[in-house]
Amino acid sequence: MRAEHDATMLVRAELCERLETLQRLSRRRPGQGFIQSVQSIRRLAAAYGLTPVVRLAEAMERAAAEGGPHRCPTALYLDRLRDAIGCDSNDDQVSQAMIASVSVRLGA
């Protein structure tokens, strides 16, 4: 159990580093590198069963594809991704709640 916890902590640390890179990319020039960074976060999270991170990354990819990276509300998604990385619960209800929080903020 301890080894599994340690592995999860390492993965979360790596995801945080990738998220920081993604935040820097979003401030400079979002584009293909931005999408690739989101995909790398999604793939790593999927490999370790971090469902909320996977679902938020998928939603962010869709938003960037539909509206272009410049029209994607990156700050909202990045904030929720940080929350998801630290979240201990990995079920779809948590994922849906986090995605809904982005939608609510978009409508505000």
Residue 105's pLDDT is: 81
Is residue 101 within 8 Å of 75, Cβ to Cβ? no
Residue type, 49: G
**Angle, alpha carbons 105-55-39 (nearest 5°):** 105
Model confidence pLDDT, tens digit, residues 62-103: 887 776 555 667 888 899 999 999 998 888 899 999 999 988
Half-sphere exposure of 65 (CA within 13 A, CB side): 10
The confidence score (pLDDT) of residue 67 equals: 67
Specify the DSSP element, H or E, that contains 61.
Answer: helix 51-67
The confidence score (pLDDT) of residue 27 equals 78
Q: Tens digit of pLDDT for each residue in 11-64?
A: 999 999 999 998 888 877 656 678 889 999 999 999 999 999 999 999 988 887
pLDDT at 25: 82
Tell which phi-psi region holds residue 8, choosing left (phi > 0), alpha (psi between -120 and 50) or beta.
alpha
Number of Cβ within a 10 Å radius of residue 31: 13
